[in-house]
Structure 1
Amino acid sequence: MSKPSCMPPDNHTRTPLYKAPPQSCDAHCHVFGPHAIFPYSDKASYWPPDADKHALKRLHDKLGIERAVLVQASCHGTDNRAMIDAIKSSKGAYRGVCIANDSFSENDFQDLHDGGVRGVRFNFVKHLGGAPNLDSMKTVLERVKPLGWHLVIHVNAEDVISYAEFFDALDMDIVVDHMGRVPTTEGVGQQAYKILLERMQRDNWWMKVCGSERISMGPPFYDAVPFAQGFIELAPERILWGTDYPHPNIKKHMPNDADLLDLVPLIARDPAIQKKILVDNPARLYGFPD
């Protein structure tokens, strides 16, 4: 069985103009395959080109990034082995966010925790299959709470609106992927962005100011800057940054990851805030050592 593929990443990463501080963390990136060892899920809507742990390490070396949070993507489904393998080989530099369902036992989650996983992710976006079964999702969240994990939500702007009350009822830390995928064409007055700004005033909400290439009209993605700035102004201590390498399902403008890192001093001009976003915040949330 074969599935639709997607564009490969731009692996000709240039040297960024911005120099990231020591122990900076890419808090949203993926490892894909190699599919001959870690097959893609038959239920996935796409099978991407391989982008394994070695490709990710080359990228981070070029960018000057020392730590990473590997986020399980839907192409691997609930088979988290590629991610766990990469974490194991990182010598403590990686943590993970898994995908799971209610068939996972408490022992399964403990094994993932022992392997470096600190959160569970649920996709709501339509092109990846749409919202999960909410009762099943609640069961999973109850099983991971004793481990101190957080929830990562991958949502589109319309999902932010539709599921606002559901998310409000969850008593745990919630991390939003890609700025809620709010399109820059709709401006900072759009309803979904205003909802997210309000939620970011709550102590249990975190925002990833990544995915500029997803919400922007095109390179150099400067139209995403005001959206990131709004979140940072509200809660600089609960902001994360990531590349989203290898950028699955990008339709038009495959970014060079150095361009995305070079957005950091634009969205956060104060070096102390840059350090919070790149170093301190991910270290606190994911338990990286000082």
Structure 2
Amino acid sequence: MSAPSLPPCPTPSKPAIALPEGACDAHCHVFGPGDVFPYSSAATYRPDDAPKDKLFALHRHLGLSRSVIVQASCHGTDNAAMVDALEAGNGNYRGIAMVDRDVTSAELEALDAAGVRGVRFNFVAHLGDAADKDAVREIVEKIKPLGWHIVVHFDSHWLEDLAPFLKALDIVTVIDHMGRIDASAGVEQRAFRLLLDLLEDERFWVKVCGSERLSRTGPPFHDAADYGRLLVERFPDRVLWGTDWPHPNIKKHMPDDGELVNLLKIIAPTAEHLQKLLVDNPSKLYWPEVL
């Protein structure tokens, strides 16, 4: 078990910008409470409880009315806490699950009915073993009939190996946290160039969040937000944004979620880009029935 993470900011500030109607937090988590939804014995970290009521309150405070809750490795493939939050979200919350390779069609259909729209795979050292590629292939074939997509979380050094593998899966793929590039290495760094090349394929999307993880200068994380702006400008129809609340595994510079919203002034400085990033693009992936 790694060193304990910091708890999320207890009193986030009110954002200085008004978000458009229907704005979506497309990447956040719920943890526990552990006495109701136990944590995985195989987890590499044990977070503080961050239950759905606290997440819902944060969204109201920030001006976000929709959300995508991403299953995190501390709960493993037991998606119960996430599904519980989706069912309480009255259709305004969607989910990304983690599943085992032997998941059944009936289990997937139950997740779909609850609001799950994809599966996440991790290739990140601090979260344990990388996802097995054969298992990924099997799971992808099982979820294609549901019209789901996959979400891939990887350390940036993985991308050279992963890019051809991901392309061969032939499914819509969302890349977490700007591919976890090094914000101090410049736009010509190999990881960022590989990310841009991958995104030229229209099956690929990217989340322009995680500035607090990628920054090398610390708060207010402008060095990382600049990369988000470049991605929004180049791929305006295939970008998503989220808070990443409650920011698992942050051990330094726990962000103020209100200030993370304020980074959108850098990431999506025009009203058109902000509308696509927070409303139109999440609708295409998660609420196509309302378009």
TM bucket by the smaller chain?
Answer: over 0.9
Q: Which runs of 5+ in 1 are unaligned?
A: none
Determine the C-alpha separation between the residues in 2 that align with 1:144 and 1:4: 35
Aligned to 1:99: 98
Q: Which amino acid aligns with 1:284?
A: K
Matches within 5 A, 1:123-202: 123-202=122-201
Could you tell me whether the CA contact under 8 Å between 1:201 and 1:234 is conserved in 2?
Answer: no
Instruction: State the SS of the aligned residue for 2:118.
Output: strand
TM-score normalised over the length of structure 2: 0.97
Could you tell me whether the CA contact under 8 Å between 2:6 and 2:252 is conserved in 1?
Answer: no
Matches within 5 A, 1:20-35: 20-35=19-34
Instruction: State the SS of the aligned residue for 1:26.
Output: strand
Across the aligned residues of Structure 1 and Structure 2, the Cα RMSD in angstroms comes to: 1.2
**1:245 matched to 2:260:** no
Q: Which runs of 5+ in 2 are unaligned?
A: none
The farther-off stretch of 16-25 and 3-12 is: 3-12
CA distances 1:13-35 after superposition (whole Å, capped 9, x unpaired): 11110111111000000000000
Determine the C-alpha separation between the residues in 2 that align with 1:206 and 1:16: 26
Determine the C-alpha separation between the residues in 1 that align with 2:277 and 2:271: 10
**1:54 matched to 2:53:** yes
Deviation at 1:188, TM superposition (A): 1.1
Deviation at 1:229, TM superposition (A): 1.7
Instruction: State the SS of the aligned residue for 2:150.
Output: strand
CA distances 1:200-250 after superposition (whole Å, capped 9, x unpaired): 121101010000000002100000122112211221011000000000001
Aligned to 1:37: 36
Instruction: State the SS of the aligned residue for 1:13.
Output: coil
Determine the C-alpha separation between the residues in 2 that align with 1:163 and 1:238: 19
**1:13 matched to 2:12:** yes
Could you tell me whether the CA contact under 8 Å between 1:197 and 1:230 is conserved in 2?
Answer: no
Deviation at 1:4, TM superposition (A): 5.0
CA distances 1:135-158 after superposition (whole Å, capped 9, x unpaired): 111111100010000010001110
The aligned length equals: 289
Structure 1 runs of 4+ off > 3 angstroms?
2-5
TM-score normalised over the length of structure 1: 0.97
Deviation at 1:180, TM superposition (A): 0.6
**Percent same amino acid at aligned positions?**
47
Deviation at 1:3, TM superposition (A): 7.3
Q: Which amino acid aligns with 1:252?
A: K
Matches within 5 A, 1:238-277: 238-277=238-277
Could you tell me whether the CA contact under 8 Å between 1:4 and 1:45 is conserved in 2?
Answer: no
Could you tell me whether the CA contact under 8 Å between 1:48 and 1:75 is conserved in 2?
Answer: yes
CA distances 1:9-64 after superposition (whole Å, capped 9, x unpaired): 00201111011111100000000000000000001101100000001011111100
Determine the C-alpha separation between the residues in 2 that align with 1:139 and 1:166: 13
Could you tell me whether the CA contact under 8 Å between 1:200 and 1:234 is conserved in 2?
Answer: no
Determine the C-alpha separation between the residues in 2 that align with 1:165 and 1:149: 20
Could you tell me whether the CA contact under 8 Å between 2:154 and 2:176 is conserved in 1?
Answer: yes
Determine the C-alpha separation between the residues in 2 that align with 1:77 and 1:6: 18
